[in-house]
Structures are given as C-alpha cells and as structure tokens.
Amino acid sequence: MRLEMAEFPVRRLRLGDAYRYQDGLLDVDREDLTRLVLRDSRIQSARFEIAAPDEPVRVTGIRDVVEPRVKFGGAAQVFPGVSGPVTPVGGGLTHRLSGMTVLATAAYEGTIRAGTGVQRSAILDMWGAGAAASRFSSLTHLVLIMEIKQGLAELEAHGAIQKAEFEVARRLAEATRGLAPASVEIFESNPASRGVPRVALIQGCLTDAQQAHSGVSYYGLPIRESLTTAIDANELLDGAVTVNTTRCVAYSPTTWDWQNHPLALALHRVQAAGRIGFAGVILERIAFDNFHGKEVVAHNTAQLAVQLGVDAALVTWIGSGNAFVEVMLTIRALEQRGIKTTLVTYEYGGKDGIDSPLLYYVTEANAAVSSGSRDRWIELPEAVKIIGPYDEIKVLTYPGAPLTSARGRFTLDARDMIVGGVDNWGGERWACELF
C-alpha cells in the first residue's frame, strides 16, 4: 500500500464562527463543534478552550489526545470501525493538522470502585517542570471539556468520549480540503524487499480482565478477542489502531501516540533509505491471567514472525505489572528461532533511579534501549489558570483519597498522572550520564 500523508502545520488556534486554515492559523467554529458533540445524548455538556505552550495553564480530567486527520478521495476514513464502517485504511491521501491536538477531557467517575479498573484521568502543565516532563506541552491544544451523564457504565462512557473527540478532530481537518500542504510524506508497504534484513515491530498491548473494553482495538475490535495479529504498518499510521479505555495514565499511550508511533515511523524511514525491509507490525495481546497463557502467546507471536520471514524485531509494549512477563517470554521465543531482538521500554528504578529497572528478565534479552524512568518524582508549581472539568483532583489514587486543589503546588511520586509523562516507545530525546 502507498499512503500519502499531507501535513498542514498549526501554530495558532482561534475560536470563532467559521473554519479556516491559512498560514499556520486554524480558525475554529466553536458553536458548530459544540452542537456536533451534544448530538450524543450520553454527553451532558460540552465546551472548548485553547491551551498553548508556555502559558501557566494546567489541564485536568484528560482522557485522550488525538491529532486531527481526514482522508480524501475514497470511501475509507480515519478510525475505521469506530467513526465509520470497517473500510481498509493505510493507502490513499490523508491530511493531518500537525503541531496541535484535540485534548479530550471529561468529568466522569465510573461505576468500578476498586482494582485496576477504577477511573483515572490525567493532567498536563503547559509550562514549568510539568511541561518538561510531557511530550504534549510543546503542542497547541483545542481542549474539549465534557460532562458525561450520571450512571453511565465505563464502556458507554468510553464510546461517548471517543466518538466526540474523533468527530471534532475530523471536522477540524476538513478545513484543509482543496489546500496545498506544507509537505507530503510517502509511506510504502514493501514486504517483498530482498537483500536487506526484514524487521518487524512487535507491539505488546495490555488487556485488563476487569474491563471488557480495556486495552487496544484494531478496527474497533478489542485485541483481547484474538491471539497475535499481523497488520500493515500503514494501517497503524492511518487510525486502524485505537485506544480502548476511558482511563488515562502515562504508561498507556494516547490515540495521538498510535498515530505518530515513533518506532513505526523510524522503521518506515530506514526502509525508504534502502537499509531494511519493514515487515510490518505484530500486535500481541499481553497480561494473560496465568503463566500458561503467557507462554502460548509468546510462542504464537514468534511463530507468526517466522512465517513473515522476519530476521530481526523491535519489541515494545504498553502497560504495567505482570504484562511485562509476556514481553520477556516473547523475546526468548524469538531469539530461540534465530530472530534478533531489541527491547524498547521505560524503566521503573524508584525515586533516585537506582532500584530494579524492570520487573522480569530472561537471559536472551541482551539488547535493550531505555526510554527513561516512570518513577522519578516531580514537583509541580502553582498554576495561574485551570482548564478542564476538575478544579480539585486526587494526587493519590486509592479509593477515598483526599481531593486537593488542582491549582496548587504538589508533588508526584511517579509520572503516571501526567499525560505524556512516560516515554513508552523512545520518541523523546532523553540522555543519561553516569559518574
């Protein structure tokens, strides 16, 4: 497949009464977007604000982040199976509004009261120490602020939030219809390349037994319904893979991260330089409840890689806890079949970065790249302005934890609460010096 990604950079957003893109300025019809969101009866209220880099602003109640994109010239549309029918994507022309996002926030407490399924939302500081910790602080955000109707179950709430943010994103991107882009990048699927190593991206995807809709979806279907799945890398960039939860924690990538997956983009670009053949992306369900399941999925993933003729693999994951066991078992299974692996992962490490960095190890995992620590403490300053549904937040996440002013100073003992606070896939430019 051949995907043409046309880029329209956004340097400034302006709320008004019409849609217009010109010279990096995007005008947004606020009332039209509000009507669009409120067509869904599950959403009680909706409004929009703008958050720009370097402003002393803290955004609360974040559920997801999405880059506005739209396809032209065919029946397919971005986010198939979620925003429309299951029509194949990964080819044709897609317009993207780079440099900005739709930041979906919502007041929603959920129906689950204990365990990993308890509702959590994230924050984002656009200045100071919090901004330095997140990849999203350098972007301009159209903040969608929603209130979800009381009593809605997690699956219904997730559907309402995702539908709203995706429809808003598409409506914004449609402002580029008929315009000339600043640049166009071509992504070619080339599974038949010869004379160079064939490299796959193996992406571990967390699923959660407490939530039927938890984890990652492919064309709107949760991957917990299947074993390992091979997809074209262009599908990943064109919205076939989506976030599937109302919870937002830093080690769970947002929709924006899937759209701009740094490892997939890097492999595409190295292939374009003639150095490798990009064999595609393998989505692997992880976080099985027992060791037998973990062993089977590792075997299944390695066997699929062999069938695809893979010589080497980048292995990465999303999640936390025992989901990492499958990652390591997969590396072992790949290496035992002669497929060279490199692991890309965040670390734990504790407050000072000197504790055990990973949960589980195998001897075959002898090549790894760290994308930084999740555990480092951070002090956030007082905010001048709050944008979002919550003026008070829980810094601690256990049931019954006290509320604190979202505007005030506080200390976080990990980056989980900051959207973009964990670099899952090595997209940032961190460096480490040892003395």
Distance of alpha carbon 396 from its chain centroid, rounded? 23
Question: At residue 326, does pLDDT exceed 90?
Answer: yes
Q: Is residue 434 part of a domain?
A: no
**DSSP element (H, E) containing 306:** helix 291-307
- 18 within some domain: yes
pLDDT tens digits for range 26-54: 999 999 999 999 999 999 999 999 999 99
Residues of the domain holding 29: 2-412
User: Which pair of tokens denotes residue 97?
Assistant: 């509004």
321, part of any domain? yes
Question: Does a structural domain hold residue 105?
Answer: yes
- Residue 425 domain-assigned (yes or no): no
Note whether residue 195 is domain-resident: yes
- Exposed/middle/buried for residue 7 (C-beta within 10 Å: 0-12, 13-18, 19+): middle
What pLDDT, on a 0 to 100 scale, did the predictor assign at position 114?
65
Asked whether residue 97 is assigned to any structural domain, the reply reads: yes
User: pLDDT value at position 349?
Assistant: 77
User: What amino acid is encoded at 371 in this protein?
Assistant: S
Kindly report the backbone phi and psi dihedral angles of residue 330, in degrees, each rounded to the nearest multiple of 5, phi listed first.
-65, -40
For the segment 54-88, what is each residue's pLDDT rounded down to a tens digit? 999 999 999 999 999 999 998 899 999 998 999 99
Residue 433 has pLDDT above 70, yes or no: no
User: How far is 83 from 32, CA to CA, in rounded Å?
Assistant: 18
Q: Is residue 429 part of a domain?
A: no
For the chain, the domain total comes to 1
Matching residue, tokens 């009464």 = 17
In this prediction, residue 398 carries a pLDDT of 60
Residue pLDDT, tens place only, 197-235: 999 999 999 876 555 555 789 999 888 878 899 999 999
